[in-house]
Amino acid sequence: MKTALVTGASSGIGLAISQYLAGRGIKVYGIARRFENACADFEDSNVNHEEHNDNMLVKVKCDISNTEELVKCIKKISKKQKIDILVNCAGIGIFGPHEQLDPFAIEQMVSVNLTAPLIIANLLLRHLKETKGIIINISSTAAKKISTYGCAYAATKAGLSHFSDSLFHEARKSGVRVVTICPDITKTEFYKNADFKECDDEYCFLFAEDIVRAVDFALSCREGAVARELTLMPQKFRIDRKKQ
Q: For the stretch 193-222, what's the b/e string if a residue is b when 16 or more beta carbons lie within 10 angstroms of its beta carbon?
A: ebeebbbeeeebbbbbebbbebbeebbeee
Per-residue pLDDT in tens (0 to 9) along the chain, 244 residues? 899 999 999 999 999 999 999 999 999 999 999 886 544 344 333 333 444 444 589 999 999 999 999 999 999 999 999 999 999 999 999 999 999 999 999 999 999 999 999 999 999 999 999 999 999 999 999 999 999 999 999 999 999 999 999 999 999 999 999 999 999 999 988 877 777 777 889 999 999 999 999 999 999 999 999 999 999 999 998 887 777 6
* Domain region containing 209: 3-241
Q: How many Å apart are CA 186 and CA 197, to the nearest integer?
A: 9
* Residue 35: predicted pLDDT: 84
Q: How many Å apart are CA 72 and CA 60, to the nearest integer?
A: 12
Strands (E), the chain: 3-7, 27-32, 57-61, 85-88, 134-138, 177-183, 196-198, 229-232, 239-241
Q: Is 175 helix (H, G, I), strand (E, B) or coil?
A: coil
Beta-sheet pairing, 85-88 with 3-7: parallel
Q: How many domains, in total, are found in the chain?
A: 1
Cα–Cα separations (whole angstroms), residue 133 to 6, 175, 212: 14, 7, 18
CATH number (domain holding residue 111)? 3.40.50.720
